[in-house]
Amino acid sequence: MKSAIGIIVGETSPMQFKFMIGRHVGRGAYVKVRGEGKDWILAQVDEVKRSNAAYNLAHMERGKEDGQAREWIVAQARVIGVATAKGLRPPTTPSRPGEEVFLADERLIKGTLGLSQGRMYIGKLRGYDLRVELDANSLVQKHCSILAKTGSGKSYTAAVILEELLEKKVALLIIDPHGEYASMKSPGREGDFSRFKIKPRGYDVTVYTPANMTVNPRADKLFRFNGISLNAREIARMMPEESSNGQIGLLYEAITALKAETDTYDLEDVIEAVGKGTSKSKWSLIGNLEQLNEMGIFSGFPTEPDELLRRGRASVIDMTGIGPEMQSMIVARLLSELFEARKLGKVNPGMVVVEEAHNYIPERGTGKAASTSIIRTIAAEGRKFGLGLMVISQRPARVDKNVISQCNTQIIMRVTNPNDLKALSKGLEGMTGELEEEIKRLPPGTAMLVNNEIERPVVVSIRPRKSLHGGVSTPIVAPEEEMLDRPAEIRTEPPERRAEGGLLRRMFGSR
């Protein structure tokens, strides 16, 4: 066996001990000591302190400084549990002072922490060559949240998880406010692929726009709701809240009149029918209806819910060009339709991903959104019906607590805002001051992972994406070459195609 790294000193308890170390052992390192019997006690270093008797304050004041460096380093370790043949059990007796401390071997760590619950490979345990693998079923059915400040790697990490889910043939629907997920179609071009042993690849992704192709040329298809023979409530739900209350009566009247004449009518027919009314307030209603009609979100050729959830494929609802209020109305209606269809078994099971979730499920007092109620319902009941939820946000404090508390897997990346940290602490069992410090310092691409299957929060170096990352930051000062090429836009075409273009140009010239 490898030699000891230190010796337990001072008072110990079942939950923690201190040990003096002879060489460097950093915070976060996993260590082991012998417990009662032969079982190993697994612990993690959460603080390291260095002191020197020669420079001890009290000592120096007495003027007895003898110049001899007597330095020692003491690490404080928190016990994770006792590794028995039957699995990890909670420690009951304090470790013995004088006992030798060893670095924990990877087999022990892997076996006891529960890092390989499934086959979804999301990264490596920080500081170790140990894969962290999650269970896809548990992640989807019991929901997942990714919370951290901007630029810490939330969308990147989400995409890593989504890649794994697609490979497990899960159907995905992604609410994408910034158009970041279209790039999942193409293989990635950078990243330490060999260290993480992965191969770049693209995925089957369809991008839908609720606007139109001019507003969003990145889209593959239009996203539309059924616009035929809508009732008053269905229409009112897509209008600004302040107007819908006063105008729903008028709308109801007009639609009743229409229905007496015909079974099938569209939004233009409704506008015409409202126009026939005599009320003075009809004009603002007509204004709203015309706006809806011009937007084109209602159509005779609606997007069918079953088309949006296909096994092993992702449908992206790219909200580029849609105002915030309309976005949440679209999400409300879309998810309601999908949830109903799922209950009836008319669509595949799958996972709904909500980026910038604070916009769609704002915490009470921080805003209102039409989509709050349905997302809460999916969080509470989705599991029964095979509809999972992933919520992503940069403002943990501003996201509906009801939804966050339903997420069994929590991925926390760097958070520094005190309100957000407080919100996280409330939602997390066993949040300690040390963990909070850790969260403030997590570098980009590093995440703290918490779920019921893993013994305690672990820090994970997220693996590189296999697919291309389409970040949202648009360079203001772009490299000259790129500026000539295509100003301030994210390049999403796969590298081969560009290489091919280059080859063709070389073969045939480009005059």
Ligand X SMILES: Nc1ncnc2c1ncn2[C@@H]1O[C@H](COP(=O)(O)OP(=O)(O)O)[C@@H](O)[C@H]1O
Query: Which positions lie near ligand X, rule CB under 6 A?
Result: 148, 150-156, 444-445, 462, 464, 469, 471
Residue 310 or 469 with smaller CB distance to ligand X: 469
To Mg ion, the closest distance from the beta carbon of 146 in angstroms equals 9
Q: From the CB of 335, what's the least distance to Mg ion, in Å?
A: 20
User: Helix, strand or coil for residue 81?
Assistant: strand
Residue 148 interacts with, from ligand X, Mg ion, none (CB under 5-8 Å by kind): ligand X
Q: What is the DSSP string of 36-61?
A: STTPEEEEEEEEEEEEEGGG-HHHHH
- Comparing CB distances to ligand X, the nearer of 323 and 471 is 471
**Window of 56-64, 101-109, 146-154, 167-175 that interacts with Mg ion by CB under 5 A:** 146-154
Query: Which of Mg ion, ligand X, none has residue 445 at its interface (CB below 5 to 8 Å by kind)?
Result: ligand X
Task: Point out which residues pair with 79 in neighbouring strands.
Answer: 43
Residue closest to 415 by CA, chosen among 392, 385, 437, 389 = 437
CB nearer Mg ion, residue 230 or residue 354: 354
Find tokens 């420079």 and name the residue: 55
Q: How far is the CB of 147 from ligand X (least distance, A)?
A: 10
What does 398 interact with, of Mg ion, ligand X, none (CB < 5 to 8 A by kind)?
none
Residue among 151 and 277 whose Cβ is closer to ligand X? 151
Q: Which does 396 bind (CB under 5 to 8 A by kind): Mg ion, ligand X, none?
A: none
Count other Cβ atoms within 10 Å, centred on residue 450: 23
Structure tokens at 380: 């509470």
**Residue 200 corresponds to which tokens in the numbers above?**
């770049």
Q: Which is nearer to ligand X, 121 or 156 (CB)?
A: 156
Selection from Mg ion, ligand X, none that 469 binds (CB < 5 to 8 A by kind) is: ligand X
- The tokens of 231 are what? 């009732």
Which residue number, 16 or 492, has a Cβ lying nearer to ligand X?
492
**Which is closer to ligand X, CB of 185 or CB of 469?**
469
Query: CB 128 → ligand X: shortest distance, Å?
Result: 16
| DSSP notation for 310-352 | -TT-EEEEE-TT--HHHHHHHHHHHHHHHHHHHHTT-S--EEE
- The answer to whether the Cα torsion of 202, 206, 208, 212 is positive or negative is positive
Candidate ranges 41-49, 135-143, 147-155, 203-211; the one touching Mg ion (CB under 5 A): 147-155
93: number of Cβ within 10 Å: 12
CB 264 within 8 A of CB 229: yes
Q: Which does 161 bind (CB under 5 to 8 A by kind): ligand X, Mg ion, none?
A: none
Shortest separation between residue 131's beta carbon and Mg ion, angstroms:
25
Cβ closer to ligand X: 191 or 324? 191
**DSSP reduced 3-state for 182:** helix
If 0-12 CB within 10 Å is exposed, 13-18 middle and 19+ buried, where does residue 261 land?
A: exposed
Residues binding Mg ion: number (CB under 5 A): 2
**Minimum CB distance to ligand X, residue 52 (Å):** 39
CB closest to ligand X, residue no = 153
Provide, for the chain, the percentages of residues in helix, strand and coil under a 3-state DSSP scheme, each rounded to the nearest 5. Answer: 35, 25, 40
Nearer to ligand X, 151 or 324 (CB): 151
* Residue 471's binding partner out of Mg ion, ligand X, none, with CB under 5 to 8 Å set by partner kind: ligand X
d(CA 1, CA 127): 21
Cβ atoms of 446 and 157 within 8 Å: the answer is no
Exposure of 170 in the CB half-sphere (CA atoms within 13 A): 26
Q: Kindly indicate which of the ranges 153-161, 358-366, 444-452, 477-485 contains the residues binding Mg ion, using the contact rule CB under 5 A.
A: 153-161
- By DSSP bridging, strand 205-209 and strand 387-393 are unpaired
CA angle 124/199/162 to nearest 5° reads: 65
Member of 76, 95, 112, 155 binding Mg ion (CB under 5 A): 155
The DSSP letter of residue 105 is P
Rounded to whole angstroms, the Cα distance separating 294 from 480 reads 39
Considering the complex, state which of residue 388 and residue 445 has its C-beta at the smaller distance from ligand X: 445
Least CB distance to ligand X at residue 152 (A): 5
Least gap, CB of 358 to Mg ion (angstroms):
12
Angle at 239 between CA 235 and CA 243, to 5 degrees: 115
What amino acid is encoded at 33 in this protein?
V
- The binder of 44, among Mg ion, ligand X, none, by C-beta within 5 to 8 A per type, is none
Report, in Å, the least distance between residue 155 CB and Mg ion: 3
30 vs 156, which CB is nearer to ligand X?
A: 156
* Interface with Mg ion, residue 12, by CB under 5 A: no
Task: Name the one range near Mg ion by CB under 5 A: 151-159, 232-240, 252-260, 432-440.
Answer: 151-159
Report what 152 binds from Mg ion, ligand X, none; CB cut-off 5-8 Å by kind. Answer: ligand X
**Residue in 130, 193, 192, 186 with CA at minimum distance from that of residue 159:** 186
Length of the chain, in residues: 511
Q: Which residues bind Mg ion (CB under 5 A)?
A: 154-155
